Amino acid sequence: MHCDTLSEIWRGNVQSLERNGLCVDLERLKKAGAKTQFFACFVNASGTGGDVWERAWRDVLEMTELAYLAEGEEFHLIRDAGEVEEADVTGGSIICPPDPKTGSSGIQGVLTVEEGGVLNGKIERLDELYRRGIRLITLIWNYENCIGSPNSLDPQVMERGLKPFGIQVVERMNELGMIIDVSHLSDGGFWDCIRCSRTPIVASHSNARSLCSHPRNLTDEMLRALGNKGGVAGVNFYSAFLREKDGTGESVRAGLEDIVRHMRRMLDQAGEDAVALGTDFDGFETEALPEKIRGVQDMDLIWEAMRRSGITSRQIDKIAYGNVSRIMEEVFSFQA
């Protein structure tokens, strides 16, 4: 449900979505048997002035244009519920069915925005993003914006809820059929989304706070509420969100067992219909990925680790594809 690959390409770090040296490209997604990948238009707007947000808005629009340039016979961006294709998923192996138009298997892409501050208080921008194919918005990143406050080690910041404009954003996203993403949001903002949204919400790339106390992760209570809402949380592969720091305060590189440990906790608290894959590929340095994981080409190792841990084939199917597919269909087709 989340990668920053498109943003890295837009910054000029690599040349192609088809083939590159990052964690995600279309060639390796297809070889790995992937069906759908969410691509974030991420901006780091490290400031609060209007000029910063206006520049960030223009950057997001450029990223959407870049994504459509990559469309072709084997890559298509999903825009409505009717385009969410069924996948043959068995024990974590996702088989891409042939495209009826081209006869070849392809990758579905979902465009997202990571940093709702680009709206800059202008609700009509949601309609513009929707027209451009954006179907999920991560309401906030690491800075306060017009919607609300970010996760924080400061309890007072964590208690802050959505701003009045943030409530309007949630309501309009419901009307348009856009997925509300609470990853990076304060705890208070999370609870406001639970209360205000008429559709399921997601935490596209967040883990279990009971296993790793980073404020980016979700408490057990939050996981239960997300599951009861019909929502989904995508497991993040960033080591700092998977394992606590060591006795010296240094981050520790996670392993496959840590990914599975969080999955099992999330299954226990939120239910098997509420767990998915977030990865956060290309959102941080590769050295912070769990051992043996370099990118989408290594997802078979995840499936095998899940099977060894006792996660059932039915649960693996749901985590691999089923739960996110359901969310997409429910939200994209929602009638206000």
- 230-247 residue pLDDT tens: 999 999 999 999 999 988
In whole angstroms, what is the distance from residue 52 CA to residue 296 CA? 33
Is the predicted pLDDT of residue 100 greater than 80, yes or no?
A: no
Calculate what percentage of the chain has a pLDDT beyond 90.
Answer: 85
In whole angstroms, what is the distance from residue 274 CA to residue 257 CA? 20
Using a 10 angstrom Cβ sphere, with 0-12 exposed, 13-18 middle and 19 or more buried, the burial of residue 188 is: middle
- 184-238 residue pLDDT tens: 999 999 999 999 999 999 999 999 999 999 999 999 999 999 999 999 999 999 9
In whole angstroms, what is the distance from residue 324 CA to residue 273 CA? 9
Q: Give the pLDDT band of residue 80 (cuts 50, 70, 90).
A: confident
Is the predicted pLDDT of residue 103 greater than 80, yes or no?
A: no
Q: Give the total residue count for the chain.
A: 336
pLDDT at 98 (0 to 100): 41
Kindly state the average pLDDT of the residues 17-43. Answer: 95
- 152-166 residue pLDDT tens: 999 999 999 999 999
What residue type is 144 in one-letter code? E
Contacts of 49 (CB under 8 A, 6+ apart): none
- 294-329 residue pLDDT tens: 999 999 999 999 999 999 999 999 999 999 999 999
Kindly state the average pLDDT of the residues 88-99. Answer: 43
Cα torsion at 65, 68, 70, 75 (round to 10°)? 160
Across the chain, mean pLDDT equals: 92
Is the predicted pLDDT of residue 97 greater than 90, yes or no?
A: no
Q: Give the pLDDT band of residue 70 (cuts 50, 70, 90).
A: very high
pLDDT at 104 (0 to 100): 41
pLDDT at 234 (0 to 100): 98
Kindly state the average pLDDT of the residues 86-104. Answer: 43
Is the predicted pLDDT of residue 99 greater than 90, yes or no?
A: no
pLDDT at 94 (0 to 100): 43
Q: Residues 238, 239, 240, 243: is their CA dihedral positive or negative?
A: positive
Kindly state the average pLDDT of the residues 52-76. Answer: 94
| Beta-carbon-side half-sphere exposure of residue 247 (alpha carbons within 13 Å) | 0
Neighbours of 299 (CB within 10 A): 21
Residue of 336 and 253 predicted with greater confidence: 253
Q: Coil, strand or helix: which one is 330?
A: helix
In whole angstroms, what is the distance from residue 322 CA to residue 320 CA? 7
Q: Give the pLDDT band of residue 96 (cuts 50, 70, 90).
A: very low
Q: Coil, strand or helix: which one is 154?
A: coil
Q: Give the pLDDT band of residue 47 (cuts 50, 70, 90).
A: low
In whole angstroms, what is the distance from residue 199 CA to residue 201 CA? 6
Residue carrying the six token digits 């298509």: 76
Using a 10 angstrom Cβ sphere, with 0-12 exposed, 13-18 middle and 19 or more buried, the burial of residue 153 is: exposed
pLDDT at 75 (0 to 100): 95
Q: Coil, strand or helix: which one is 9?
A: helix
Structure-block tokens of residue 265: 């906790």
- DSSP character for 322? I
E strand or H helix at 149: none
